[in-house]
Amino acid sequence: MARRYSARRELAMTIIAWTVGLAIFFPILWTVLTSFKTEAEAVASPPSFLFFHWTTENYAEVQSRSNYLAHFMNSAVISLGSTLAALVIAIPAAWAMAFSPTKRTKDVLMWMLSTKMMPPVGALIPVYLIFRDTGLLDTRPGLVIVLTLINLPIVTWMLYTYFKEIPGEILEAARMDGASLLKEIVYVLTPMAVPGIASTLLLNVILAWNEAFWTLNLTTSEAAPLTAFIASYSSPEGLFYGKLSAASTMAIAPILILGWFSQKQLVRGLTFGAVK
């Protein structure tokens, strides 16, 4: 009886998991399908799912109108640059709060997290004016700085959580062996937290890649990433759903491929320390 109940429960959980997964993935699938439709079929009612005239004209039009490779390189440089900069700052900060806490550590962590609750538009004007006066508007370094500061609280919180799971006795043993603070972080702490650091890196790359508010307001052409590439197909003349879907598919394809091939590492890092 218990075995039959367990089988039924497993089947029910499998069905629920597949249903939720398909519901989450369906908008992406619909975007990909729409990118292969003509503009007339893209807005047809009722919509057609698979039985329509498949065409690649939207991709050809997008390629002819925009420099996809330039936008892709901007997204790659900005995402990787801001992620690496955030890790360089967050690893020592998380180490200090995890292994040398003070009575203000929890307050600092909560303050860092509270900065994510402020609407970005509240800081847009001062940031825009600072960037204008310092020549950072529409530059890769400017966006790297902004995205580093935006995602730094999340990176620090995640690394702090991972570092708390590492026994402090190991670091004490390294100090007794004569390891300096730098060597302790680089050669002892970092290798032990590789799964957590890797998952933090991947999540931060995804967040930076998908950031639209700051990239659309602080760039025009030179440093415009793929978010601006997508937005360029929304014009006063109307929404061209076929071309917009083609641009969206081209923009999300690299990050989907990255997530697919790194999913094991991502799950391992997210569950790091969850099972005792």
Spell out the SS3 assignment of 113-164. HHHHHCCHHHHHHHHHHHHHHHCCCCCHHHHHHHHHHHHHHHHHHHHHHHHH
Asked whether the bond before 195 is cis by omega within 30 degrees of 0, the reply is: no
The Cα-based distances of 55 to 73, 75, 241 in angstroms read 27, 28, 14
Is residue 200 a contact partner of residue 87, using CB atoms and an 8 Å limit? yes
CA distance 54 to 35: 9
For residue 275, the model assigns a pLDDT of: 46
Helix (H) or strand (E) holding 51: none
Percent of the chain with pLDDT over 90: 28
The CA distance from 86 to 201, in Å, is: 9
Is there a contact between 39 and 241 (Cβ–Cβ < 8 Å)? yes
Q: Which domains does the chain have, with CATH numbers?
A: 7-59 (no CATH), 67-233 (1.10.3720.10)
Q: Is the pLDDT of residue 130 over 90?
A: yes
Q: Tell me the per-residue pLDDT of 186-233, one tens digit each, with 9 for 90 and over.
A: 788 878 888 788 888 888 998 899 998 999 999 988 899 999 888 888
Q: At residue 171, does pLDDT exceed 70?
A: yes
Q: CA 5 to CA 10: how far, in whole Å?
A: 9
Give the model's confidence band at 9: pLDDT under 50 very low, under 70 low, under 90 confident, else very high: confident
* C-alpha to C-alpha distance for 74 and 139, rounded to whole angstroms: 9
3-class secondary-structure state, position 1: coil
**Contact 225/74 with Cβ under 8 angstroms?**
yes
The position carrying tokens 């032990």 is 192
Cβ proximity of 94 and 156 under 8 Å: yes
